[in-house]
Amino acid sequence: MSDIYVLIPAVNEENSIARVIEDIPADLVKEVVVVDNGSEDNTINAAEKAGAAVLSESVRGYGAACLKGLSYIFGKCSDDDVIVFLDGDYSDHPEEMGKIAAPVIGENYDMVIGSRILGKKLGMTEEDSLLPQAEFGNWLSTALIKLFWGYEFTDLGPFRAVKVSSLKKMKMKDMNYGWTVEMQIKAAKFKMNCTEVPVSYRKRIGVSKVTGTVSGSVKAGVKILYTIFKSL
Ligand SMILES: Nc1nc2c(ncn2[C@@H]2O[C@H](COP(=O)(O)OP(=O)(O)OP(=O)(O)O)[C@@H](O)[C@H]2O)c(=O)[nH]1
Ligand SMILES: [Mg+2]
């Protein structure tokens, strides 16, 4: 039976991180790993108290934190285990983890993306939670992935499940905002078996770091497009 490990990159999320961890179905997962990048608030304590293993990465960046978490998890898991990525700001609904992980565990999928775009069509997203720049960026990025590699995604959503053996094959490198798109491009290039499931989405708790800020959106947009064209 495959084990599920959860990887949550988090910086300054003291008001949300415990709620995220507490909403993860405990019977489903082997370990929750939070990777911090120098939080100046109570994130680390809150995450530990809620039952997570907390790692610290000195190099700032979403991708850097994910790489740290992966090397820790790869050191203890087996190749047919599953890693679920999840944000620490309580925008995703951790209780939906089962439906994201199920196709990897039971149906031989390599990767399942939780799609907020499919969720929105079903009325599962809170109004104004998925910002217009995120929707446009997702639309453009997924259209380019389809054009260049023939794979159809609707979202670059952070809430996703990937089989350990497939993640190892991807040899992920991106240190910050290109992480999610790099993973989807590599899945397409390796012709991996991918699918999406609709997920709910709500407004984050705490202070925006990426999409909710102008500089974060511009940096993320530039890095995502650079990652796509560099991969050709
Ligand atoms: N460890 C680590 N985590 C990060 C970093 N940047 C963002 N995060 C975390 O990654 C997750 C996603 O970042 P968010 O700030 O929610 O990004 P977003 O959803 O695009 O935009 P906002 O929610 O509007 O800020 C959250 O849990 C953040 O705390 C980082 O440099 N290091
Ligand atoms: Mg967020």
**What local confidence, expressed as pLDDT, does residue 208 receive?**
94
- b/e map of 6-25 (b: 16 or more CB within 10 Å)? bbbbbbbbbbbbbbbbebbe
Ligand 1 pocket, residue 130 CB under 6 Å? no
Instruction: Give the gyration radius of the chain's Cα atoms.
Output: 16
In DSSP terms, 72 is beta-bridged to: none
Counting atoms of ligand 1 from 1, which one is nearest the CA of 65? Answer: 1
CA distance 197 to 124: 12
Q: Which among 54, 87, 175, 180 is the best mutation to test ligand 1's pocket, defined by most ligand atoms within 8 Å of the CB? A: 87
Burial of 39 (0-12, 13-18, 19+ CB in 10 A): buried
Ligand 1 pocket, residue 56 CB under 6 Å? no
What pTM was computed for the model?
Answer: 0.98
- Report whether 13 contacts 52 (CB < 8 A): no
**Alpha helical stretches, state H, 62-208:** 62-74, 97-106, 116-121, 132-149, 164-170, 179-189
CA distance 105 to 149: 25
Ligand 1 pocket, residue 210 CB under 6 Å? yes
Task: Select from 231, 126, 217, 211 the least CA-distant residue to 171.
Answer: 231
- Name residues with Cβ closer than 5 Å to ligand 2, which is an ion: 89, 91, 204
Q: Which among 14, 39, 62 is the best mutation to test ligand 1's pocket, defined by most ligand atoms within 8 Å of the CB? A: 62
Between the CA of 204 and the centroid of ligand 2 the distance, in Å, is 6
Q: In the Cβ-directed half-sphere of 63, how many Cα atoms lie within 13 Å?
A: 17
Burial of 40 (0-12, 13-18, 19+ CB in 10 A): exposed
Counting atoms of ligand 1 from 1, which one is nearest the CA of 17? Answer: 27
Counting atoms of ligand 1 from 1, which one is nearest the CA of 11? Answer: 29
What pLDDT, in 10s, does the model give residues 35-50? 999 999 999 999 999 9
Pairing between β-strand 194-198 and β-strand 111-115 as defined by DSSP bridges: parallel
Between the CA of 133 and the centroid of ligand 2 the distance, in Å, is 13
The residue nearest atom 6 of ligand 1, judged by CA position, is: 62
In one-letter notation, the amino acid at residue 216 is G
Between the CA of 87 and the centroid of ligand 2 the distance, in Å, is 7
**What local confidence, expressed as pLDDT, does residue 1 receive?**
83
**What local confidence, expressed as pLDDT, does residue 113 receive?**
98
Between the CA of 133 and the centroid of ligand 1 the distance, in Å, is 16
DSSP string, 47-88: HHHTT-EEEE-SS-SHHHHHHHHHHHHHTT--TT-EEEE--S
**What local confidence, expressed as pLDDT, does residue 120 receive?**
97
Fold of 4-230: Spore Coat Polysaccharide Biosynthesis Protein SpsA; Chain A (3.90.550)
Task: Select from 192, 211, 193, 191 the least CA-distant residue to 201.
Answer: 211
Stretches in the chain below the pLDDT threshold 70: none
Between the CA of 154 and the centroid of ligand 2 the distance, in Å, is 18
The domains of the chain are located at 4-230
Ligand nearest to the CA of 158: 1
**What local confidence, expressed as pLDDT, does residue 76 receive?**
98
